Structure 1
Amino acid sequence: MRFFQAILLTLLSFATADDVIYSSNQGHTFGTVLVSTIDGQLRALDTFNGRQKWALKEAPVLRAPKAIKQGFTFLPNPQDGTLYALKEGALKKMPFSIPQLVHLSPSKDNEGVLYAGNKKDVWFGLDPETGSKIETLSSMTAERICPANKARAIFIGRSEYHLSMFDTKDRTRTWNATFTDYSAHLLPTDAAYPFQHFASSSTGHVLTVDIDGQIVWEKDLGQPIVAMYLLQNDGLHKLRYTVIGRESMERLITPVFQNTNTIFRIRKQRIRLSKWLLSITDYWGDESSN
């Protein structure tokens, strides 16, 4: 169990600045920051102070076996469903992700592994002020939970990818996984968005700074972060963030001791980020790098 947790946290640290892009805004109304964590929580945070408005509990982003099968163990990246094969103690990136294999199924690779998958799409209408589900739409059913609030609903698309793998050389070796992703608009960089976000690779810390490199707010969500969005009137917009190591994150926050527990918070005064941190985001303000 601990081995797989360590591997998943390592995969989270593979994210780079090129993986996601800034969201566009209209009229400088940035909306609400939504943070998706590996346990399935979707948390709404105030863009300007990080205060949590509400939280929505969904199924975990990734569900996969934890047992190791000799020669038939696979580790998915919870950020995008990329697959890694564990062979002879080494990780090897596979050519296709879980969503891609689902789209290609039924298929068979050169080593005799069979792939079968299916995709389930759901739209749910969300009250942006409370996080309550107002309406759920899918190919199978339509459920209206609160018709009176329908006019306020913002619709968010969610896709579940179910993948099964079978080894034709050894029928006892099978592998099943489910990866969940939210649909989001991928819009060009908007230089008017005033913040840059940093997330810890192994904890739930998220740090927000302004264009001058000064810390605006910090939040500990308790679970590793797999995606960030802006919730606007037309739905979700992918939000850029940079993954940094735990030690780097802790260097930016001040330890405060309460009883026997150590907690972390931002210094009361606004502090300027060190040059070494800004240097890892050389794309800052440069649209050509996207």
Structure 2
Amino acid sequence: MSKEKHTQLVKAYAKQLGFDFCGIAKAVKLEEDARRLESWLHKGFNGSMQYMENYFELRIDPAKLVPGAKSVITLLLNYFPEEQQQEEAPKIAKYAYGKDYHEVIRRKLKLLLQSIKEHIGEINGRGFVDSAPVLERTWAQKSGLGWVGKNGNLINKQSGSFFFIATLITDLELEYEDGFAKDYCGTCTKCIDHCPTEAILPGKVVDGSKCISYFTIELKDALIPAKNEFSNWMFGCDVCQDVCPWNRFSKPNNEIDFKPLPEILNFSKDDWEELTEESFRVIFKDSPLKRSKFEGIKRNLHFIRT
């Protein structure tokens, strides 16, 4: 089969698995991104997230992850929920309403790679989602799926930014997209202006060490620095996405595993306060909230209450 036919098959399989968008870029070393990442790390914007300093070469060179890599397939999966939390409840980022996306997407990537091998032939490939050393937003841009906004999120002109990004690196040669999508942020600075902790800096730079998501999820200290104002966010933060004009095009997702847990939609402030560790482990066993653990959730609740 030709590269064109292979590409059509890959995109058809991705659609069958529920991915909303699929773009493909040529696997090359990301020299410019290497310099940008180095500068970001040097300024300490990763805070206590030391793991971001690891595997530097792997992050910028797909061939270090898959020998002989020829193509980087980027996939977007919508997570925008149909329903929202109670108005006064401690806020949770929308990506955490349902099941842990890592498990959901890893399963889909495994099936995608399996379909490619069954119908195209024996190829090498590895799927990655979020926690692996891959610069997924850069590859999404190179695949023509959108542009990186001033808040550091990938924005798709048709559907906004409430998407998970997954990457499949393979040694299969495919047809590649035209490249970077145009940047449509223009002079808008809503994400910068509304960030509660002033974590979004000029030049599309986000100081991760100031981000509410960092404090409520990544920071493992017993106490959160008291000078911060979290606007009632208990786990993660969606402010920069909620105010983005492009998210007026967001539509509810169709992924059954992202259906919001009833407790996330219905728990009041008192329900969260009264939650026991045993109940937390049962209710949120498949949820991203388990990443903060019970102690972290209680710490965050205490911080936004005081």
* TM-score normalised by structure 2 residue count: 0.26
Of Structure 1 and Structure 2, the greater strand share is in: 1
* TM-score normalised by structure 1 residue count: 0.27
Of Structure 1 and Structure 2, the greater helix share is in: 2
Higher relative contact order at CA 8 Å, sep ≥6: structure 1 or structure 2?
Answer: 2
